[in-house]
Structure 1
């Protein structure tokens, strides 16, 4: 089963995976549940007949249904297993084709080693779990033990081989969980706006939520993310957002998740919020750029001028990783010369504002 955001979903403890596994024979991480996986695999091998296994592999095109790696029959190198989606399915027999799926060895191992709800260091409801993936619980466990921590260290600690970009996206989901789940009234994960480290809320001293970045590139992304979220919440068609902003469907989901995490105060920004501030007026160690912004459309050019002003005077770092694209793993953005920065920022803001105005017109 596939969710709206493209993730594969298994009903067995919400088994999900969105990563490419390593070649067979490569060194992999192990966990205390490896023996359990061996037992489960032996049980599956014994209970599924060769004929049924062949039928499942043929139906799935000899391809792992999680990461997409192909078996020798399709010219690939992956060792493929047949996995029971449910051990006690309702309405079908355990070995019926609809209760079986094809997984490569690495993904199958990950499925059986994943963390469960009981392993979480915080209380999670059924509504929370409808949004989260099993690796999110593993991330929560790591943060509880080792947080605050940088994205790379978190990625290195996980059982599944996930890129820093994927881990950063999952961290954004965890950080914005209270804005995605109606019944959750408390944030559980936060990011330090000064260091970029992630942790449980009690571990973070300077919250990135609600922060107005002084860096123009981060500011552009914040505004666009929040406008995408608001447009989708107000019923704007996702395809329209994709067309207007010229972005992929996956990127719209990523922007929506990131907006939920950072909860950018768009109204306060329009009223004249300054970079480096939270809506309440508390400043961080970042240099504040002038951002004389009014809510009326007649002042859009003034917004461009004031945001662009001072780019050459200060090139603050982006510890929160806000300037990264969905596709890239780049940890630091390239630095521009002052003149190039002014032109680039103005052009990008002009494009973003024009696109967002078209979205509003669609509504």
Structure 2
């Protein structure tokens, strides 16, 4: 995968100078080394590797990290590590290192549950992983060259995978219960208001959700997509034009209230 499996260390004297300057504290997570009563081993990390840009082993090019943080930062994957070409997508969408890990794992191992995916990603919380999964599932909204999502979710197995590996997708599905349908419409409304430029704090207050929760909800709504064109379904309470009008009215209302 093109990962770097080892560290190019600073000379011992420079390493000690960097750790002493940073008061033996990891500059990423804040944990302390034994010199200050902590129990975590510390290392000096090169911030810039290009010798044409900086004196590589100068103390100013170093920062203190604990071993777990140093490993995480040094071994992060990039789009170049993927076993397939995503350069066109990467140019239009900000793919995070967690996205690369997820895409690589699903490519090599096939469909997997959220828990299985979380186990192979770099120390990410479950909510964070689910957000990235929803994001990858909605990339085709932003990239014109894609006619399907990067990943999909199986309705029957609850597993994530590449579209060709998925049986029945959860996307563009009208829920069977009216309650779930209303939840989906509410989520889509939240997403549309954010996309229209309404402030996240205002949207969070309007829907009675935390500001943090609006990130997750908007990503999920973008991935699932409500099929407004299926207006024959008994649970489809409004068509696309009617929903657009609701969005426009609320956007105008919020704009007037902040004018």
Q: Please indicate the TM-score interval, normalised by the length of the shorter structure.
A: 0.7 to 0.9
Are the counterparts in 1 of residues 79 and 90 from structure 2 also a CA contact under 8 Å?
A: no
Are the counterparts in 2 of residues 62 and 70 from structure 1 also a CA contact under 8 Å?
A: yes
132, 136, 140: which one aligns with 2:103: 140
Which residue does the alignment assign to 1:125?
87
Which residue does the alignment assign to 2:160?
198
CA-to-partner distance for each residue in 1:310-351, whole Å, 9 max, x for gaps? xxxxxxxxxxxxxxxxxxxxxxxxxxxxxxxxxxxxxxxxxx
Which residue does the alignment assign to 1:230?
192
Aligned length: 250
TM-score, normalised via structure 2 length: 0.76
**Where does structure 1 lack aligned partners over 5 or more consecutive residues?**
1-30, 275-290, 300-353
Are the counterparts in 2 of residues 272 and 294 from structure 1 also a CA contact under 8 Å?
A: no
Are the counterparts in 1 of residues 14 and 57 from structure 2 also a CA contact under 8 Å?
A: yes
CA-to-partner distance for each residue in 1:90-120, whole Å, 9 max, x for gaps? 7655467775444321121122233332331
Which residue does the alignment assign to 2:31?
70
Q: Partners of 2:251 and 2:51 in 1: how far apart? A: 45
Matched, 1:245 2:207: yes
SS at match of 1:121: coil
Q: Partners of 1:96 and 1:252 in 2: how far apart? A: 44
Which residue does the alignment assign to 1:306?
none
SS at match of 1:208: coil
Matched, 1:81 2:43: yes
Are the counterparts in 2 of residues 71 and 78 from structure 1 also a CA contact under 8 Å?
A: yes
Change (3 A) 1:86 1:195: same
Q: Partners of 1:357 and 1:76 in 2: how far apart? A: 56
Change (3 A) 1:293 1:88: same
Change (3 A) 1:125 1:224: farther
Aligned-residue offset at 1:178: 1.8
**Where does structure 2 lack aligned partners over 5 or more consecutive residues?**
none
Change (3 A) 1:204 1:295: closer
Q: Which moves more between the two structures, 102-111 or 159-168?
A: 159-168
Are the counterparts in 1 of residues 32 and 39 from structure 2 also a CA contact under 8 Å?
A: yes
Q: Which moves more between the two structures, 44-53 or 250-259?
A: 44-53
Change (3 A) 1:96 1:243: farther
**Which consecutive segments of 4 or more residues in structure 1 shift more than 6 A?**
354-357
SS at match of 1:261: helix
TM-score, normalised via structure 1 length: 0.57
Are the counterparts in 2 of residues 245 and 355 from structure 1 also a CA contact under 8 Å?
A: no
Which residue does the alignment assign to 2:70?
108
Q: Partners of 1:90 and 1:361 in 2: how far apart? A: 55
Which residue does the alignment assign to 1:44?
10
Are the counterparts in 2 of residues 69 and 76 from structure 1 also a CA contact under 8 Å?
A: no
